[in-house]
Amino acid sequence: MPARFRAAVRRYGRATLIVAAALLLYPLASTAQELRRTGATVTGRILDASSSAPVAAAEVVIEGTNIRALSDSVGRYLLGRVPAGPQMLVVSALGYARSRIPLNVPGTGILVQDVQLAVRPLQMEGLIVVADPSSRARGELGTASVVDEQAIANQTAASLQGVLELIPGETLKPPGLDNLQQISLRAVPTSTSASMTLGEPLAGDLASFGTLIIMDGVPLSNNANLQTLGPRGEMRITTSAGGGIDLRRVPASTIERVEVIRGVPSARYGDLTQGVIVVDTRASVVAPTVAARFDAQLLEGSLVGGRQFGLPHALTANVDLASNQISPGISDDNAYRVSAQVAHRLALGGDAAARGELGWSVFDTRVDFYQVYEDNPEDPEVFPGRASWSRDMGLRISERARLPLGDLGSLGITGSLNYTRQRSYRQALFVRGAMPFTDRVDEGRAFGRFIGGEYLSRLWLEGDSWQLYTRVEAAQPSWLLGLDHRARAGVELRREWNSGPGYRFDIEFPPQVTFNGVNGFDRPHSFDAIPGVATTAAYLDDRMRAVLPGEMALELQAGLRLDLLHEGEHWLSGIRDAVLQPRLNAQLAPWPWLRLRGAWGRTAKQPPLAQLYPPPQYYDVVNVNWYANDPAERLAVLTTFIRDPKNHELGYATARKAEAGIEVAPSHGFGLSLVAFNDRTTGGVGYRSVPDFLIREHFQLSDSTLGTGVPPEIIEPASYADTVPVLIHVPDNNLTLESKGFEGTLDLPEFRPIRTKLNVQASWIETRYFKRGIDFGRLFSEFQLSEHIPRSPYWEDPIRTGKLGLITYRVIHHQPALGLVITGTIQHTFKETERDIAATDSLAFAGYITRSGELVPVPPERRGDPEFEDLRQPRSGVFQIEEYERPADWIASLQVSKTLPRGGRLSFYAFNVLDRPGRFSESGFGSRVYRALRFGLEVTLPVGGPGYAR
């Protein structure tokens, strides 16, 4: 058994036993308190808003649960044993817009709630166009925000990123495809001292890498993305390598529902450290609808439609095309997207099964395709020689089956194969001085040649990543020892691998310009030889509910998950690392209008393939550097050394997550939610600089007379040798990301005289980001070259902190009779800082490194002694000022939506209506923070006839 696995079992075995004991003892305590199985009953009628006629066969669901029913022929529905406290009632019926009704459910008794459905969403009373505090993710108790189709339609969103702006803590951005789009939940973007020099992830990159995105039940993985240059790449390529999924690949026009679980997720979710984003795309009976968006930079069109063929079959298809000019009038940069999806549902059980009801066998088959292209052609007048492009294409085939097992519950089987084709290119004009050069790809000494001057470097990154995913999950609702149980147990298998030409460039014109006579240039390498990675997971999760005396109700969700990272490429190979992950959520509703919540849990994220199998690192040590005026007389001799930076101990990053919250909803239309959280991720993958040394030989020359027309010859053997210190950059679990803060949401009742209501979201996040290790600074390069410098200082890596405070106000004016919604949004950034917590004076060094690579620490009380005078050097790689703060500022946006004949919609939007730049006051560069004013139109028109459904 591996040491890491034994340590994990010892460390978390006690916590696991505590959770297990709680699960066993709590039902006994509940029985002693005479808990009753009788929950509240919610009933009422579903009516047509225009005619008050009953709506039959409408599906009524308590959001986040499996409690559902169908309305009968007179529109009546009945939901039993509904959890007490603030809940969300979701009603949908064929031919009507989905309706969401907030409820305050008592612990016992009957709650009557009638619902009126409208054909056109904008004509519904109580239309919800934000992520409200009563939302619930399906089967989850953790803090979550749910954004449904109507809220998405009222966003100026071109991709998933725009939809996620309804979440507390997310900044507003204009719709578009420019730049890489990622999401980092509950983290402020900061950096380590090696983020720019070694390509380590920023705090936002690490947070987005640890955010799990699930699309139609299948996780989208970024573990096999190798579009990275490693620790020596000087030419930067903007890709999602080391970060999260590029959100541009998911068009907002195809999304039906988004759940964002920011708290502690249930044990069924793995491969994460931050949170979970669950995306459902449209896959049901949908009237064929065409939509188009126009503004100064973005042109987008989409078509979606779904039809049911008889009782068992339903087919849905959608296509989205978008073109984005990134900087019109300034450059020719463009981004393009093509997205298409076909979904087929086979429901064995009739009409009810077509809506996915429990008790019927349902088979969902999906084929998804996307392309995201970005072109940045050369502008010879601004940046001569600089150009880049990226070509990402993906194809996914997935199958989900939900099979009833009678009294044994149900069985879910999910399988998918994902393929991503990634092509990146970058060129840049470099200037280098004359330097000796060797293109040797194996170890040994060789005669080189001199190169120098201006050159154009061209770099290609060409990879094909694959993911095979399988999940088998059994669910069993039951009644045991006074509690309602909804238990789930499952097994997950993943295998991810990469292939393709890889990292390609002309060795003589590398994507690096700096050569100090020791650290060699990178060499091209193929991705085909890189092994894959296999993981296995098993989990058990149980959601329990009980009704206490009076109106009080209690819910618990407890689970345990085990993730295994295998040594080899297959699931039968040995275990490289293992992590036990206990998770617990508790929710108490003392009264129907109040809900108290708390959670604690542990999660884990596997390391990326690029860090599990990094390419070799080259060192080209110069033995002879004879540079004569006559090129024919020049002589260069270099010895190439190769070091393997693989870390066989590299394993999971883990996160400890805790939160506590309160939700208040004393009256219809009023809602208040406040959550305090504390998340700590340890073991994020960065680089550890391992000191080593090489032997450098020095040679005498036989004839160094100038003007002979021939180079001199070296005299064997070497006249002497010395040691050259080097640093091997090894991937390591040495990054720590700590975030704590508050999130709040306030919904005020509609002010009826002017049909206007207010929604406020606020967040305060403080992030600490640091690396466990040491920093050698920029003095190390000079130390390498000169054999006369006996030692060089090193420092402890600094801690960097960031603080971000955001308040977002949304004023919503709704006229149902006119089918009109006007939404004004103001986002106020009241605090944004970044700070180094590390001494930067001349006494900040922690020790020194010798020429043989030995590290010698120096106690703080001795660092002022005369013998260490040469080590008291100013530190590089940290901020010039201790704390950098952006002034408080705000931005405003506007959207107006109006119904059109036949159920269409016309929307006008304006981002940053006052064109506020939001400048940094201390940078001195006058850089613009907020994007410039953008305005445009979006139109949606149904094109299907009355018989589209069948």
478 membership: H or E segment, kind and range: strand 444-480
**Is the pLDDT confidence value at 397 over 90?**
yes
Which pLDDT does position 383 carry in this prediction? 86
Average pLDDT of the segment spanning 511-529: 87
Using an 8 Å Cβ cutoff, are 419 and 466 in contact? yes
Model pLDDT for residues 251-279, shown as the tens digit of each residue: 998 898 999 999 999 999 999 999 999 99
Look up residue 15 and give its DSSP letter: H
Average pLDDT of the segment spanning 840-860: 85
> Facing residues of 608 across strands?
none
Which pLDDT does position 6 carry in this prediction? 47
Using an 8 Å Cβ cutoff, are 486 and 410 in contact? no
Query: What share of the chain in percent tops pLDDT 70?
Result: 91
Q: Choose between 369 and 549: higher pLDDT.
A: 369
Lowest mean pLDDT among 597-601, 609-613, 800-804, 941-945: 941-945
Signed CA dihedral, 76, 79, 85, 91: sign only: negative
**Is the pLDDT confidence value at 16 over 80?**
no
Which residue type sits at 856?
V
Helices (H), 294-408: 351-354
**Is the pLDDT confidence value at 946 over 80?**
no
Helices (H), 857-919: none
Lowest mean pLDDT among 13-17, 179-183, 306-310, 680-684: 13-17
Of 350, 394, 115, give the one whose Cα is nearest residue 250: 394
Could you check whether the bond before residue 288 is cis, i.e. omega within 30 degrees of 0? no
Q: How far apart are CA 585 and CA 195, in angstroms?
A: 36
Structure tokens at 158: 């071109």
Signed CA dihedral, 236, 241, 242, 245: sign only: positive
Q: How far apart are CA 562 and CA 491, in angstroms?
A: 10
Of 565, 516, 514, give the one whose Cα is nearest residue 4: 565
> Facing residues of 766 across strands?
740, 803
b/e string for 472-484 if b means 16 or more Cβ within 10 A? ebbbeeeeeebbb
**Is the pLDDT confidence value at 22 over 50?**
no
Long-range contacts (CB closer than 8 Å, 24 or more residues apart) made by 66-69? 66/139, 66/358, 66/477, 66/486, 68/357, 68/358
Structure tokens at 194: 């090696």
Which pLDDT does position 19 carry in this prediction? 42
What is the Cα 927 distance to its own chain's centre?
27
Of 326, 334, 338, give the one whose Cα is nearest residue 301: 338
Lowest mean pLDDT among 598-612, 858-872, 917-931: 917-931
E-only strand ranges, 748-816: 756-771, 774-775, 791-796, 799-815
Of 848, 839, 837, 836, give the one whose Cα is nearest residue 875: 839
**Is the pLDDT confidence value at 31 over 60?**
no
Using an 8 Å Cβ cutoff, are 586 and 599 in contact? yes
Q: How far apart are CA 46 and CA 91, in angstroms?
A: 8
Task: Provide the residue count of the chain.
Answer: 950
Q: How far apart are CA 112 and CA 108, in angstroms?
A: 13
Using an 8 Å Cβ cutoff, are 180 and 326 in contact? no
Instruction: Name the phi and psi angles at 19, rounded to 5.
Output: -65, -45
Which pLDDT does position 23 carry in this prediction? 39
Q: How many C-alpha atoms does 207 have within 13 Å on its Cβ side?
A: 22
Residue where the block lists tokens 């999130």: 743
5 membership: H or E segment, kind and range: helix 3-32
Lowest mean pLDDT among 332-341, 345-354, 535-544, 892-901: 345-354
Of 205, 183, 184, 186, give the one whose Cα is nearest residue 196: 205
208 membership: H or E segment, kind and range: helix 203-209
**Is the pLDDT confidence value at 21 over 50?**
no
Query: What share of the chain in percent tops pLDDT 90?
Result: 51
CB atoms within 10 A of CB 445: 17
**Is the pLDDT confidence value at 56 over 50?**
yes
Q: Choose between 783 and 417: higher pLDDT.
A: 417
Of 502, 445, 460, 840, give the one whose Cα is nearest residue 640: 445
Structure tokens at 275: 């949170």
Which residue type sits at 691?
P
Three-state SS letters, 515-547: CCCCECCCCCECCCCCCCEEEEEEEEEEEEEEE
User: What is the average pLDDT score of the chain?
Assistant: 86
Average pLDDT of the segment spanning 607-632: 93
Instruction: Name the phi and psi angles at 166, rounded to 5.
Output: -80, 0
Q: Choose between 485 and 756: higher pLDDT.
A: 756
The CA-based angle 822-828-831, given to 5 degrees, is 165
Which pLDDT does position 879 carry in this prediction? 55
Of 91, 74, 157, give the one whose Cα is nearest residue 125: 91
- C-alpha distances out from residue 242 to 336, 396, 527, Å: 23, 22, 16
Of the pLDDT bands very low, low, confident and very high (cuts 50, 70, 90), residue 359 is low
Using an 8 Å Cβ cutoff, are 661 and 673 in contact? yes
Average pLDDT of the segment spanning 719-734: 93
Of 382, 230, 201, 194, give the one whose Cα is nearest residue 778: 194
Q: How many C-alpha atoms does 589 have within 13 Å on its Cβ side?
A: 30
What are the residues whose beta carbons fall under 8 Å from the beta carbon of 748, sequence distance 6 or more?
A: 669, 670, 757, 758, 759
**Is the pLDDT confidence value at 12 over 70?**
no
Which pLDDT does position 237 carry in this prediction? 79
Q: Choose between 552 and 913: higher pLDDT.
A: 913
Which pLDDT does position 199 carry in this prediction? 72
Model pLDDT for residues 148-199, shown as the tens digit of each residue: 888 888 888 899 999 999 998 888 989 989 888 888 899 988 877 666 567 7
Look up residue 201 and give its DSSP letter: P
Which pLDDT does position 542 carry in this prediction? 94
Using an 8 Å Cβ cutoff, are 487 and 268 in contact? no
What is the Cα 803 distance to its own chain's centre?
20
Which pLDDT does position 33 carry in this prediction? 36
Structure tokens at 688: 């550890």
Which pLDDT does position 35 carry in this prediction? 35
10 membership: H or E segment, kind and range: helix 3-32
Which pLDDT does position 950 carry in this prediction? 32
Using an 8 Å Cβ cutoff, are 233 and 617 in contact? no
Residue where the block lists tokens 């979701």: 90
b/e string for 510-543 if b means 16 or more Cβ within 10 A? bbbbebebbbbbbbbbebeebebbbbbbebbbbb
Average pLDDT of the segment spanning 755-765: 94
Model pLDDT for residues 785-817, shown as the tens digit of each residue: 888 899 999 888 888 899 999 999 999 999 998
The CA-based angle 808-810-813, given to 5 degrees, is 175
Of the pLDDT bands very low, low, confident and very high (cuts 50, 70, 90), residue 821 is very high
Of 36, 26, 31, 29, give the one whose Cα is nearest residue 108: 36
Most confident of 57-61, 356-360, 618-622: 618-622
The CA-based angle 166-171-176, given to 5 degrees, is 85
**Is the pLDDT confidence value at 923 over 70?**
no
Which pLDDT does position 562 carry in this prediction? 97
Which pLDDT does position 826 carry in this prediction? 95
Of the pLDDT bands very low, low, confident and very high (cuts 50, 70, 90), residue 349 is low
**Is the pLDDT confidence value at 355 over 80?**
no
Structure tokens at 75: 């529109």
Of 254, 329, 295, give the one whose Cα is nearest residue 911: 295
Of 520, 445, 518, give the one whose Cα is nearest residue 785: 518
Provide the whole-model pTM.
0.90
